[in-house]
Chain A
Amino acid sequence: MTSRGRFDWLIAIAMTCALLTGRVEDARADGVEPEAAAALKRMTSHLGSLQSFSMQTASTLEVVLNSGQKIQFTAAARNVVRRPDRLWSERVGDVISQTFYYNGRTLTIFNPADGYYATVSAPGNIDAMLDFARDTLDVIAPAGDLIASDAYERLMMDATSGFVVGKSVVDGVRCDHLAFRAGAVDWQIWIEEGARPLPRKYVITTLDVAQAPQFELVISNWDTGATPADRVFEFTPPAGARSVEFLPASGGQR
């Protein structure tokens, strides 16, 4: 028993050393495996080269209650993008419904249920608009990072490690599964295998919040041949709709 126990223990140490050695070497090489970086770059380059496209998304957002209990919210959305300066997104659900319009000049959020909408001037391209929406309006599109023209740089900004997990299947589509770490955020992405390297799933884990809540996005129904007309991105207030303002982003100095 004693010798057997010690033997197991030695094996455990040996295996740990092997694992650690591998990881230490990775860390020396910037922590991001070249294969993982290349696969991500392939996706962002491909998506960045598409002038217009549409897709559907299903998201799950976890919030953590004071008790430590985690609660998930799910939502589905249809999205249309036309580079460099058009974006439309409609979230539908039993509880909420909200439509987002960006026409290159203004950004509008509209709640069809109660008729409230807010329109503000916005920067002239999708990248700058996403930053503006996040920093000035507190309107955050987690997957906006994926569609930005500099998506690779955004995603990899603070990456400390990255590796190819392996092959996976999302919604019946074979994918390459990658995992990265950046500061207090771990994230994973599933990229369609083959000639059409599109993101199929995206998971973000936030480590410095109690219980490490996650955001998950599954992307389906990619249409990369879509040629949406201008009117898709124009908001026309329906009769009875009421215009309200955006409050300044809280804190002011963020």
Chain B
Amino acid sequence: MTTLPKYLVGGALLVALLGAEVSPRSTLPLRWMPEALAVVGAPLTPASYAGVARRTTRRTVAVAGSVAAAEQADAEKAAAAQQSATAQQQSATAQQQSATAQQQSATAQQQAAAAQPKSAAPPAAAGQALPIGTVVTALPPGCTQTQVGGVQYSHCGADYYRAAFQGSNLVYVTAQP
């Protein structure tokens, strides 16, 4: 707990022109964070709020930054995001009514966030490769760099990762070299 700021260092990678990125929709790279510290939300801009509100699915940043969560399969990630998005939709609707509803909103979101890590797949057993396309915000320890076909990969255990930008955050995606 006392090293929380270190866990959050990655979060400062939120970037955009003219200021910090305000993106409740993209993964915040909170590295190696205990599950209990999952990020629930960040602000929206008036225009991005309007844009998001018109879309059917509003995602949240209910992201578990723990190793286990980072390694969850995409399908489960999507399912969890869906759940939490639904919860937030409901909470958003309820919130507009009153301050009491806002409290419920907070509760709903926290439940949504809390629920997500539970749906995460267990960490891949040692030596077992993660599904291709898994996105993590930090590489596991003990990686070596390798070049295949002009592309740089980090080789970590049974997995190959290539770097990519998700929004303005640098992430690593499992790939088949």
Contact = CB atoms under 8 A, between A and B. Distances in A.
A204 B43 contact: yes
A98 B15 contact: yes
Contact of A96 (B15, B59, B92): B15
A181 to B, nearest CB: 10
Interface string A169-204: 000000000001011110100000000000000001
Contacts of B19: 57, 59, 61, 75, 77, 141-143, 215, 217
A127 B99 CA distance: 36
Interface string A227-254: 0000000000000001011110111011
Interface in B124-177: 135, 152, 162-168, 170-171, 173
B71 interface: no
Contacts of A209: 24, 40-44, 105, 109
Nearest to A204: B43
Interface in B11-42: 11-28, 35-42
A171 B62 CA distance: 36
A35 interface: no
A158 B44 CA distance: 13
Interface residues of B, number: 72
A187 to B, nearest CB: 6
Interface of B (DSSP majority class): mixed
B113 interface: yes
B86 interface: no
A206 B14 contact: no
B45 interface: yes
B18 A142 contact: yes
B166 A65 contact: no
Most central of B18, B38, B39, B162 by chain A CB within 10 Å = B18
B14 A157 contact: no
Interface in A116-153: 116, 118, 133-135, 137-147
A67 B37 contact: yes
A6 to B, nearest CB: 27
A166 interface: no
Contacts of B55: 253-254
Contact of A140 (B16, B88, B162, B170): B16
A208 B45 contact: no
Contacts of B39: 63-66
A207 interface: yes
Nearest to A185: B49
Nearest to A181: B46
Interface in B55-108: 55-59, 61, 81, 88, 91-92, 95-96, 102, 105-107
Interface of A: 57, 59-68, 71, 73-75, 77, 79, 87, 89, 91, 93, 95-96, 98, 100, 109, 111, 114, 116, 118, 133-135, 137-147, 154-155, 157-159, 180, 182-185, 187, 204-215, 217, 242, 244-247, 249-251, 253-254
Given A140-B22, A154-B47, A245-B164, 17 more contacts: A61-B19, A63-B41, A63-B42, A64-B41, A66-B110, A77-B19, A138-B168, A140-B23, A141-B18, A145-B47, A157-B50, A183-B96, A204-B46, A213-B42, A214-B43, A247-B171, A254-B57
9 contacts: A66-B110, A133-B16, A141-B17, A144-B16, A185-B44, A204-B45, A209-B24, A217-B18, A245-B164
